[in-house]
Structure 1
């Protein structure tokens, strides 16, 4: 889902994962249990549940299709290598995101994150029917503004917000993925949501006031009859 589409819902957001997200997490947990117990066929199901989520997560960090795909591959390889240590009855999503996050942090430390952004790869979920040129320009501007709002958050706030709001993880799962307490997840998510609400509200208020400001600059005030007219 594009960043703007999520931020547009910030005011109405709740912390509960959708039934679809919860069902997907359950399927992934069951598939991982079978895979850890030696059922090689379970990997295909595990891949189907995890790969799209991990790709979205990595793509938001790197803005690079190739880097996101590499991160997904490396994450799954590490999970494969450690599969026998998976705790039966545990949740696989926090583990997968924790691995992916470590890989992305390492990439950033190597100076690869900004360089890879030049790739410009577009998230497949953002592709769709071609809009009109005017709509496309408007969408690009809104998406860029939304990404700037998200990027302006402190890193800890942003990570918690993304895992809860974009990826649908529970507070407990996010805490496990980030290695922090549940209370800290709630605090960071709340603060990020408040900051984004303020940014969205400010941007919309400025958009509403902009025509008024332009009119005042042109002298379009009450009682001004315009060029050649007479004011009363």
Structure 2
């Protein structure tokens, strides 16, 4: 808890570049909520909860753990609302709180090992692929998760926040407590590593597809050739 609140205080020490460039709907709602307008919390919740849930779901692979992380994050926001800097950006602050909570959950063993079965985002359109397509998609998704999980944690976090969560480089830097240049470097290295791994696997698949089938013992004994 102290670590989370310390992160909260750090995030609120100064104004965000995002807030200076133009407040979002979430920022304006949080500004009103911090000023004592209790009804504004509903708008804060609507703006933040879906994004935080997707973030936590990717992290935990558990809907119940993700929901708990979202609730705990919003409770932290509520507890610290009177110290929120007017005109600040609430999104990177909320992600920083959620990230700290998720790290703590992981240390307590709540984070699940990546599984082969995918957890679909409830907002994604439902489809009815063939069994073969569904199996292929699960394998591809599991492979992508394994590749992502194998990256250094710093690369992976920067990549996920920018590519998956849609945060700007400035917001990601604020969440992770690093410079914008470092965010760009880590995200670039993660992208390059993932592309290299994908190319390696594709090359291996093409080699397997074009490699002649091994001769059976019967072919060898009869001097035949494989067809």
Q: TM-score range by the shorter chain?
A: 0.7 to 0.9
Question: What TM-score does the superposition give when structure 2 sets the normalisation length?
Answer: 0.80
Gaps of 5+ in 2: 1-20, 217-223
Indicate the SS of the match to 1:41.
helix
Q: 2:214 aligns with which of 217, 223, 227?
A: 217
CA deviation after TM superposition for structure 1 residue 70, in Å: 0.2
Q: Deviations over 1:185-221 (max 9, x none)?
A: 11111111111111122222222222112x35359xx
Counterpart for residue 33 of structure 2: 35
- RMSD of equivalent CA atoms: 2.7
Structure of higher RCO (CA pairs closer than 8 Å, 6+ residues apart): 1
Question: What TM-score does the superposition give when structure 1 sets the normalisation length?
Answer: 0.78
- Paired with 2:75 and 2:184, the residues of 1 have a C-alpha distance of 31
Counterpart for residue 166 of structure 2: 168
- Paired with 2:184 and 2:114, the residues of 1 have a C-alpha distance of 31
CA deviation after TM superposition for structure 1 residue 130, in Å: 2.1
Alignment of 1:28-177 (within 5 A): 28-114=26-112, 122-126=120-124, 128-177=126-175
CA deviation after TM superposition for structure 1 residue 117, in Å: 7.3
Contact 2:117 / 2:142 at 8 angstroms: preserved in 1?
no
Contact 2:61 / 2:114 at 8 angstroms: preserved in 1?
yes
Q: 1:196 aligns with which of 194, 197, 206?
A: 194
Indicate the SS of the match to 2:24.
helix
Gaps of 5+ in 1: 1-21, 220-224
Indicate the SS of the match to 1:156.
helix
- Paired with 1:163 and 1:82, the residues of 2 have a C-alpha distance of 23
- Paired with 1:117 and 1:67, the residues of 2 have a C-alpha distance of 15
**Runs of at least 4 residues off by over 6 Å:** 115-120
CA deviation after TM superposition for structure 1 residue 160, in Å: 0.7
